[in-house]
Structure 1
Amino acid sequence: MIRYNLKCGAGHGFESWFKNAEGFAALQSAGQVSCPVCGSPEVEKELMAPAVRPSRKAAAAKPDLSAPASELEEKLAALKKQIEENSEYVGMNFAAEARKIHAGEAPERPIHGEAKPDEARAMIEEGLPVAPLPFLPARKVN
């Protein structure tokens, strides 16, 4: 099988698969290759780049996606580290714990955690001093 990038006389570009180069030539000469947009039988192959596999070295040299890729990502990573080191993670109990702290029912301390959008909205409407963080919490997996 071979895939060709094709173009009709009206300039519409499309691609199609053929058994081989001779199969394309036979179908084209019989008028059986046409543009799917306008139906024009005036179809030509476009210039194509071959699909080349990268070398083993290039395939092995994958970027480290866990490392910050920009100055902004470095600053976000530093912010995340600071928040995690200086506050207690309370998980999905964030809304309840924040309310207890605000009401004086739990010791005052910095916390971070997770809340559903409606819970976060309700806390803001109640006047609790909360803010969304620009990162997701680290997930613990087995």
Structure 2
Amino acid sequence: MIVFDLCCAAGDHRFEAWFNSSDGFADQQARGLIACPVCGDSDVAKAVMAPRVGAKSNQGTAPSAPVAVPAESMKSPKGGDISPELVRKVVAGIAAQQAEMLPQSRWVGRDFADAARAMHEGRAKEDLIHGQTSPEEAQALRDDGIAAMPLLVPFVPPEAAN
């Protein structure tokens, strides 16, 4: 899999999308299957990208999963179009709330599942925490009735920040 930064010609919006290969991108682009998630423009091209340098093998980072949403799926539950402005406002609101909450929360790193379970079982004091966990550990927390949710906006762990 390969991720490309893309941009549309109409609104100059930037977004990321995953492809099986460069040829897969070229094929989808030629068939008009890629659309800007903000304005729906299908005149999409690769944008200039900074190289993605992986972390050292002994220092993992949280996986991210950027997704380009097709314009056809941008419908409200009542059947009307969702405006790009509304999408921007909602995402900005989520990002602002997350930025406000994180400083009040304690980073526990890869010990997130253990820390959440300890608080749930009364072995540790209740606290706001954030950290990293595998999808399997997150599912086990949900199965055991332990409240946890992913951060909706990408987050750089403190040890990975410059």
Tell me the TM-score range normalised by the shorter chain.
Answer: 0.3 to 0.5
TM-score by length of 1: 0.47
TM-score by length of 2: 0.41
Query: Which protein shows a greater Rg?
Result: 1
